[in-house]
């Protein structure tokens, strides 16, 4: 999934916590899709609509200081789905409080089942 957007109140500065800002999340889920494809069965894969809703709920939820922490929380939500073996999470913070011109601030992590 690319470009999931949600408003959150994450950041270390009071203004970020009070006013909030838009965060964008990209996900790559690692799973074996062959069983679902063979039977054309949604129950044998991950429902991306549900994952999207869960990720947005994390972004809209309890504020954290760092987008690294936000990415970790998102990864853990994705890994709760039994079929997901690995996840890559990229959190974009396009309105980060930086005093010089920039296009985007991102943090990308990869997590897998131990």
pLDDT for residue 114 is more than 80: no
For the chain, the domains span 4-112
> What would the pLDDT profile of 10-45 be if each residue is shown by its tens digit?
999 999 999 999 999 999 999 999 999 999 999 999
Residues assigned a catalytic role: 93
CB distance 87 to 75 below 8 Å: yes
CA 41 vs. chain centroid, Å, equals 25
114 HSE (CA, 13 A, CB side): 1
Q: So what's the pLDDT on residue 24? A: 98
SS3 98: coil
Q: What is the mean pLDDT of the chain?
A: 97
pTM recorded for the entire structure: 0.95
| Of 6, 78, 90, nearest in space to 47 by CA | 78
Q: What's the CATH fold of domain 4-112? A: GTP Cyclohydrolase I, domain 2 (3.30.1130)
């Amino acid at each position: 999934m690319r470009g999931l957007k949600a408003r959150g109140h994450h950041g270390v500065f009071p203004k970020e916590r009070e006013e909030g800002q838009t965060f964008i999340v990209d996900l790559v889920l690692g799973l074996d899709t062959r069983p679902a494809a063979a039977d054309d069965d949604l129950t044998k894969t991950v429902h991306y609509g549900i994952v999207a809703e869960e990720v947005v709920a994390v972004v809209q939820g309890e504020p954290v200081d760092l987008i690294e922490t936000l990415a970790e929380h998102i990864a853990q939500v994705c890994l709760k789905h039994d079929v997901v073996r690995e996840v890559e999470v990229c959190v974009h913070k396009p309105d980060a409080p930086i005093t010089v011109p920039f296009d985007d601030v991102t943090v990308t992590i990869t997590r897998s089942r131990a």
